Amino acid sequence: MRFLKFMTKSMIILVFLAFFSIAGIYLYAKMLPKLSISGNGSYTLYDNTEAVFFQGNGTSKWVSVDEISDYVKKATITIEDKNFYKHHGFDVLRIMKAMYTNLTSRSYKEGASTITQQFAKNLYLDFDKTWERKIHELWYTIQIETHYSKDDILEGYLNCINYGHAMYGIENASEFYFDKKASELTLAESAMLVGIPKSPSNYSPLINHELAKKRQTYILKTMYEEGVITKDEYNDALNEELKFHGKKDGLDLDTLMYYQDAVMDELKSLGNVIETNLQNGGIRVYTNLDVKAQTSLENSIKSTITDNEEIQASGIMINPEDGSVIGLVGGRDFNKSQFNRALNSKRQVGSIMKPFLYYNALENGFTASTSFLSQETTFTISANNVYTPKNYNNLYANKAISMASAISFSDNIYAIKTHLFLGSENLIDTAKRVGIKTKLEPIASLPLGTVELNHLEITNAYATLASEGIKHEPYFIKKVTDMAGNILYEHKDTSEVVLNKSITFILNDLLKGTYDYNMIDYTYPTNISIASLLKHDYAIKSGSTNTDNWIIGFNKNVVTSIWIGYDDNKEMTTNDFRYSKKIWANAMEEYLVDKEVSWYEIPSNVVGVIVDPITGNLATNESKNKKILYYIKGTEPGFTQEVFDEYEEKQDTEKDNDEAKE
């Protein structure tokens, strides 16, 4: 009995302590300065012409609670927080119910965030999902509840919530989906919009009308069961045929949010000063977005892939002069898939690794004319390790070919011979120099791209070639200011010369051979299919594996890269490999229309010589193929070229003959 009395007294004391503690917290919050909720958390993004392309949290179309349809307010409260007008920021009974449901189901099926909590998160907490941020969310919730009326909180929430398609705020959403003001929305339209924020990529009626309709029906049914609407209102709304507008007033690109994603990721890395200013009135973010670049990438992908809903694509454009990312597409349509493949995936890169091998070779005494025998070969790597690479379609020259030919035809045998001749570590060193940060292993197949790299990472490595050997860190944000124009952050150039300019020029010129008719011999240059589409000079390299298809090319103006593949790593069909090159050519040419385009100047220590590009020998009157190739002065070819493994091959032939005689 005494123990029971003790426990009862203890519980009463604990309850009182908890009550006074909570009361103290709310009182302390009340004494603090009033938080601003009508402009906080907003960010305005500008492109490279300082034109606005995005305004976060809907502050551009803020409307008062009286200018919002009652149906929107009732539907929101019913489905998101039915005790909104009864609690003080936290719905204790709902929290307990959610905890019980999640514990018994051993999952996180049910949440218990109130409208105030969601509003606090949208205002201040876009950056992290840590326990520390959750605590901050709770504290902001208390501050908002102590300083504002429920109608003020509801107004703020409805003006900042995400309704999909980059539509933040009920007024923006109403105009986008239905071409009307938020005050004019019907019950059916309101229920449709209120259903979207739970999962904008799934419940947008423009993406999945069937799923959106089910969500709308659930909301209407819940409103009827809670007595918020009558049965007649329920039936009328259920049967109302909705007509969707689906157009934006400004820039309307299905891939623009991928670029915005990249900007927000970079913004997160800039420190607390950014988040502090978000809380104190918002920020302005000046980016490198070139609308023409973004549009060119999107248009070329859309116009090329018209017969395959499943296959995915990503594309990047970088200005090689400073590393600024001017266009980025992380998928075919952000509204259908928010996964940003350009930033967040790693894929096998195939033969687009080879230019870094050949730079290393040129740096170590090779020239454009250096020759190896191209024939089916088995390499003995160690006592118990042999490697037999294959050329595409098992097609071999069965003769000596020059480096110029090997690049043009993407000859795998030549690449492996070069790699093993130089030593595996040399390619890794060059890759690091040009900006590849992924750890690479010194394996024989490395130049054939068996490694997985990030799209932005490999594109920036090519930008080092395009900038004639100067490495830049890729970046999206030029500067960030507060709403008064005070600079909070400004990008600083960290460029570094990592490659020899003359050697880089020679390599870039050799990469023009991938679409040059003068290179046609026992096979065709790898990119000859797009030669007729190209109006300018480009250095281009394509690469393929069973699951990935790449093409990256550049000139002094821009580097453009395209990846094609399936998210589940399904093997690609022959038909699938036709997309990337056409996308690249169309995007590049569309972007460069009306721009002044030039190729690289020949360095003073480099000389051009007319050669037979297949053999690497000096051209004669009898030469079928003739082309100017470039060399460091003093390394120009004569009328015959040494074939590095010719003697070894001759020995093998003599041995075979001797065995045949026996």
DSSP of 369-438: T-EEEES---EEEETTEEE----GGG----EEEEHHHHHHHT-HHHHHHHHHHH-HHHHHHHHHHTT--S
Q: Is the confidence at residue 661, as pLDDT, over 70?
A: no
Question: 41 or 289: whose pLDDT is higher?
Answer: 289
φ, ψ at 558 (rounded to 5°): -160, 150
User: What proportion of the chain, given as a percentage, has pLDDT over 70?
Assistant: 80
Q: Is the confidence at residue 658, as pLDDT, over 60?
A: no
How sure is the predictor about 383, in pLDDT bands with cuts at 50, 70 and 90?
A: confident
Q: Which amino acid is at 155?
A: E
Q: Is the confidence at residue 292, as pLDDT, over 70?
A: yes
Q: Is the confidence at residue 641, as pLDDT, over 70?
A: no
Amino acid 127: pLDDT: 45
Q: Is the confidence at residue 111, as pLDDT, over 60?
A: no
How sure is the predictor about 26, in pLDDT bands with cuts at 50, 70 and 90?
A: low
- Residue 133 and residue 123 in contact, taking contact as beta carbons nearer than 8 Å: no
Question: 83 or 552: whose pLDDT is higher?
Answer: 552
Q: Is the confidence at residue 80, as pLDDT, over 60?
A: yes
Alpha-carbon span 446 to 440, nearest angstrom: 8
Q: What is the DSSP letter of 297?
A: H
Q: Which two tokens stand for residue 292?
A: 């023409």
Of the chain, the end-to-end C-alpha distance in Å amounts to: 109
Say how many C-beta atoms besides its own lie within 10 A of residue 24's C-beta: 10
Does the domain at 6-283 match CATH 3.40.50.300? Answer given as: no
Alpha-carbon span 522 to 136, nearest angstrom: 68
- Residue 523 and residue 396 in contact, taking contact as beta carbons nearer than 8 Å: no
- Residue 70 and residue 158 in contact, taking contact as beta carbons nearer than 8 Å: no
* Residue 459 CA: distances (Å) to CA of 112, 453, 456, 536, 558: 43, 10, 5, 20, 11
Superfamily of chain region 294-606: DD-peptidase/beta-lactamase superfamily (3.40.710.10)
* Strand bridging mode 43-46 / 371-374: unpaired
List Cβ neighbours of 242 (8 Å cut-off, separation of 6 or more): 178, 188, 189, 192, 205
How sure is the predictor about 656, in pLDDT bands with cuts at 50, 70 and 90?
A: very low
As a whole number, the mean pLDDT across the chain is 86
Q: Is the confidence at residue 583, as pLDDT, over 90?
A: yes
Q: Is the confidence at residue 644, as pLDDT, over 80?
A: no
Q: Is the confidence at residue 85, as pLDDT, over 50?
A: yes
Say how many C-beta atoms besides its own lie within 10 A of residue 423's C-beta: 13
φ, ψ at 331 (rounded to 5°): 175, 175
Q: Is the confidence at residue 213, as pLDDT, over 50?
A: yes
Of 27, 609, 598, which is closest to residue 321 (Cα–Cα)?
598
Q: Is the confidence at residue 580, as pLDDT, over 60?
A: yes
Q: Is the confidence at residue 409, as pLDDT, over 60?
A: yes
How sure is the predictor about 105, in pLDDT bands with cuts at 50, 70 and 90?
A: low
Q: Is the confidence at residue 650, as pLDDT, over 50?
A: no
Looking at residues 14-42, what average pLDDT do you find? 57
Of 390, 417, 388, 387, which is closest to residue 402 (Cα–Cα)?
417
Q: Is 351 an active-site residue?
A: yes
Q: Residue 520 burial (CB < 10 Å; 0-12/13-18/19+)?
A: middle
Q: Which two tokens stand for residue 180?
A: 């009307």
Question: 466 or 116: whose pLDDT is higher?
Answer: 466
How sure is the predictor about 410, in pLDDT bands with cuts at 50, 70 and 90?
A: very high
What is the enclosing helix (H) or strand (E) of 265? helix 256-268
Alpha-carbon span 193 to 237, nearest angstrom: 13
Question: 169 or 367: whose pLDDT is higher?
Answer: 367
* Residue 540 CA: distances (Å) to CA of 17, 33, 315, 317: 72, 59, 15, 14
- Out of 211-220, 481-490, 602-611, least confident range: 481-490
Q: Is the confidence at residue 97, as pLDDT, over 90?
A: no
Looking at residues 61-83, what average pLDDT do you find? 89
Say how many C-beta atoms besides its own lie within 10 A of residue 429's C-beta: 12
Of 261, 118, 286, which is closest to residue 194 (Cα–Cα)?
118
Alpha-carbon span 120 to 148, nearest angstrom: 12
User: What proportion of the chain, given as a percentage, has pLDDT over 90?
Assistant: 62
Q: Is the confidence at residue 643, as pLDDT, over 80?
A: no
Amino acid 96: pLDDT: 64
List Cβ neighbours of 5 (8 Å cut-off, separation of 6 or more): none
Alpha-carbon span 155 to 470, nearest angstrom: 51
Q: Is the confidence at residue 647, as pLDDT, over 50?
A: no
Looking at residues 331-343, what average pLDDT do you find? 90
Looking at residues 299-314, what average pLDDT do you find? 95
- Residue 497, strand partner residues: 470
List Cβ neighbours of 233 (8 Å cut-off, separation of 6 or more): 187, 224
Of 527, 503, 519, 447, which is closest to residue 630 (Cα–Cα)?
503
- Residue 410 and residue 524 in contact, taking contact as beta carbons nearer than 8 Å: no
φ, ψ at 486 (rounded to 5°): -75, 130
Amino acid 144: pLDDT: 77
Q: Is the confidence at residue 39, as pLDDT, over 80?
A: no
Amino acid 573: pLDDT: 93
Dihedral, 25, 28, 29, 34 alpha carbons, nearest 10:
180
pTM of the model: 0.79
- Out of 86-90, 133-137, 245-249, least confident range: 133-137
Of 610, 615, 620, which is closest to residue 646 (Cα–Cα)?
615
Residue boundaries of the structural domains of the chain: 6-283, 294-606
Q: Which residue has the tokens 């070919």?
A: 401
Selected catalytic residue, list 69, 80, 402, 467:
80
Alpha-carbon span 182 to 611, nearest angstrom: 71
Selected catalytic residue, list 42, 204, 324, 351:
351
How sure is the predictor about 92, in pLDDT bands with cuts at 50, 70 and 90?
A: low
pLDDT in tens, 251-271: 678 899 899 989 988 988 887
Find how far residue 451's CA is from the centre of its chain. Answer: 19
How sure is the predictor about 8, in pLDDT bands with cuts at 50, 70 and 90?
A: low
Amino acid 638: pLDDT: 77
- Residue 381, strand partner residues: none
Find how far residue 606's CA is from the centre of its chain. Answer: 38
